[in-house]
Amino acid sequence: MPNRLAHETSPYLLQHADNPVDWWPWSAEAFEEARRRGVPVLLSVGYSSCHWCHVMAHESFEDEDTADYLNAHFVSVKVDREERPDVDAVYMEAVQAATGQGGWPMTVFLTPDAEPFYFGTYFPPAPRHGMPSFRQVLEGVTQAWRDRRDEVAEVAGKIVRDLAGREIAHGGEGVPGEEELAQALLGLTREYDAQRGGFGGAPKFPPSMVIEFLLRHHARTGSEGALEMAQDTCERMARGGIYDQLGGGFARYSVDREWVVPHFERMLYDNALLCRVYTHLWRSTGSDLARRVALETADFLVRELRTPEGGFASALDADSDDGTGRHVEGAYYVWTPQQLRDVLGDDAGLAARYFGVTDEGTFEHGASVLQLPQSEGVFDADRLASVRERLIAARAERPAPGRDDKVVAAWNGLAIAALAETGACFDRPDLVEAALAAADLLVRVHLDEHARLTRTSKDGRAGTNAGVLEDYGDVAEGFLTLASVTGEGVWLEFAGLLLDHVLTRFTDPGSGALYDTAEDAEQLIRRPQDPTDNAVPSGWTAAAGALLSYAAHTGSEPHRTAAERALGVVRALGPRVPRFVGWGLAVAEARLDGPREVAVVGPDPADEATRTLHRTALLGTAPGAVVACGTPDSDEFPLLAGRPLSGGAATAYVCRNFTCDAPTTDPERLRHALTGH
């Protein structure tokens, strides 16, 4: 008998709809039921491509005895962290404060007033490695609830008070300047892994937002050290097992320091951010590797994650059927020497050398993750293309990983920005069209009549959860990028509507601090607020970047002031923890550079000279530069006002900090004006 999750749109919740556990979705009704029965709430938070979420579900939530115990002693609530990042953030903060670590699945026990009193992540079905079994935890919580209710209430109240005291009271004093950005670069240099690329040890995550800062810092200052860290990290990731050497696109992270063995789940946000980073690296250096990876990643996004409605799905699972009916992590992607021989025949030995496939294996059970060691010259181009085609065809016969078809507004905003820029830089109008289709879906399905965003949709149907700050910031970023790339001012208008909500519903009017949820959103035990980047730009820094770009487009002083007030926290955190405010540092680079405002006017946007100037502007490396393109009489972009043609020819204007260069009709002069330093 399906439980209450059967009517949800989240693929993760639907995966649990047939569990014997009597799950509730997050709702006031669930907590009212706990209050009525006088029992605690078990809150279980995860997401569809989470490996250990699947493991715990199979071991515990599909077990009849465990389910019977849960149903008798708890109200069980299941949350998709991707649909409700606010719920996830509040309770993850409590888990991390209490245990010093966090992760998913997240397991939290709450009072009927939603106050947490006991925490954990994955619990095994039997005691192991010093961890109690899940059943032992359930019995211990039940006993404490029955026999020591006052103590439980006291613990829960203290936790809530401690969380309330963590609120960030202000955006910081002042904005990041030359000194803070130089200190941030120095901090990154100390943490940089010069032998392997990237920052820190294992597990190693793609540092997309930090690389964006490094590229912008190099563009503004000419720092070769910043460029070297960005370029070396990008090359090592692209040659490692974290990158799919056959189909393009990146896995979530590497379990080792060398980028060899990935955690195989593949997320929309990682690939959107990295697609844009590699495009920007190519724009700065002309690297053939960066060009190839940017385009292959863009093609992966469109081929593997695009939904029939034109949006982009959230993720591909790490696990898939290994051919024996068992779901095994990485089964779709890894190869043994024998599997290469079966597919490639005489080419197998060279392919093993080229892709780093060994007899011992680099993964599990003698299998290897394909890499690209320094092995140029092993194949000629035609033979390599044949090898790749045969391997791709053979892999396509394997059971494919599952896909989470949920469309998340914020992550689609990141994909829109990436595909629009990649399409423009590499003259791939099909990628720009894919970005436009996703933007159209967001407008049609995710925006209501008041320009308020819904967080998710599935199959063209909007979910019920309100958009959070990262949705408004990232979607506005995507729309602003589309406006620059397409010359269609409607996207600037939509971005402005979203950013109006940021100013009025997410910003503290006194301090300028930003909250992750709107002032009229559901009230949790704490209003979540986090300026640090994680897997994606924080809502705080994403909004700051979009506000700054919109101000450059329109001259709006309130938007620029809001961006600068938000950047105060980056001034405080950047020199101390630069890895965790990479996007904020990138926005600060744009502010220091202006950002530059580029207006391209022509007799006709389709005119070849106009198109050449427009593309030249988009290829500029000046940090965060905004571009408007249209006819002199167009009212779609404020930057075009009062910009006449020069001698009847297409003309470009470059301004920053209230000062404009002389207009030019020469693409080379425009290119020179838009180098960062």
pLDDT tens for residues 36-89? 999 999 999 999 878 888 889 999 999 999 999 999 999 999 999 999 999 999
Q: Buried b / exposed e across 399-416, counting CB within 10 Å, b at 16+? A: eebbbbbbbbbbbbbbbb
Quick one: pLDDT band at residue 156, thresholds 50, 70, 90?
confident
The residues, ordered by sequence, that sit 6+ positions from 522 with a Cβ below 8 Å of its Cβ are 86, 466
Q: What is the pLDDT of residue 356?
A: 94
CATH domain 178-316+404-593 topology: Glycosyltransferase (1.50.10)
The DSSP symbol for 359 reads: S
**Confidence (pTM):** 0.93
Q: Where are the alpha helices (DSSP H) in 362-443?
A: 381-396, 409-425, 429-441
Residue 646's Cβ-count burial label (10 Å; 0-12, 13-18, 19+) is middle
Residue 677: its pLDDT value, please?
A: 64
| CA gap 156, 536 in Å, rounded | 31
The three-state secondary structure class of 343 is helix
What CATH class does 4-164 carry? alpha beta
Would you list the domain boundaries of the chain?
4-164, 178-316+404-593, 333-397, 597-673
Mean pLDDT, the chain, rounded, equals 93
Model confidence over 441-462: pLDDT tens digits?
999 999 999 999 999 999 999 9
CA separation for the pair 357, 350 (Å, rounded): 10
pLDDT value, residue 170? 52
pLDDT bracket for residue 479 (50, 70, 90): very high
CB atoms under 10 Å from CB of 16, counted, come to 24
How far apart (Å, rounded) are the C-alpha atoms in residues 601 and 629?
6
